[in-house]
Amino acid sequence: MEKNKIFAKMDELDSQVGVFHKELTDLKQKVKELLEDNKRLSEENNQLRQLFKREAELEREVVKAPAKGKKPGVNQEVLLPPDHAFVEASVAIGEGHDNLTRLYHEGFHICNVYYGHLRTEGDCLFCLSFLNK
C-alpha cells in the first residue's frame, strides 16, 4: 500500500511540474512580446523626439529671420495669374509626394501594406517602388 501512495504522489508531482512548465512558457512568451513592443516604442519615441527637435529648430529659424520679400498679410496665391492654374495642380501633386518622401525618411512606411507603421529593419521595397512611380 505504501508503494501505491508513493507512485500516486510522483504522478501528482509530475502533473504539477507540467502545469508549472506550461505557465513558465506562457510567461516567457509574454515577456518576449513586451520586450519587442518596448523596443519598437523606444525607437518610435526617439524618432519622434528627433522630428520634434528639427521642427522646433525650424520654427526658431523662421522666428529669427523674417521672410524676405513677403509683406505681412499678402496672400501669395492671389499673386498668381489665372492662366497658371495647371502650375498650382502640379505643385499640389509634388507637395504630396514630398510629404510622403519626408515621412519615409522619418522612418515610417508609406506603402499600402504597412502604411503608417514604423520601419524597423531598414528600407522597404514596397515603399521604395511606390516612391519611384
Q: Output the tens digit of pLDDT for each of the chain's 133 residues.
A: 688 899 899 999 999 999 999 999 999 999 999 999 999 898 888 888 888 888 888 888 888 776 555 544 444 444 444 444 444 444 456 778 888 888 888 888 888 888 888 888 888 888 888 888 7
pLDDT at 32: 93
C-alpha cell at 92: 499640389
Taken in order 12, 17, 19, 20, the sign of the CA dihedral is positive
Kindly provide the residue ranges of all beta strands, DSSP E only, lying in the chain, ordered along the sequence: none
pTM above 0.85, yes or no: no
Q: How far from 40 is each of 43, 124, 127, CA to CA, in Å?
A: 5, 17, 19
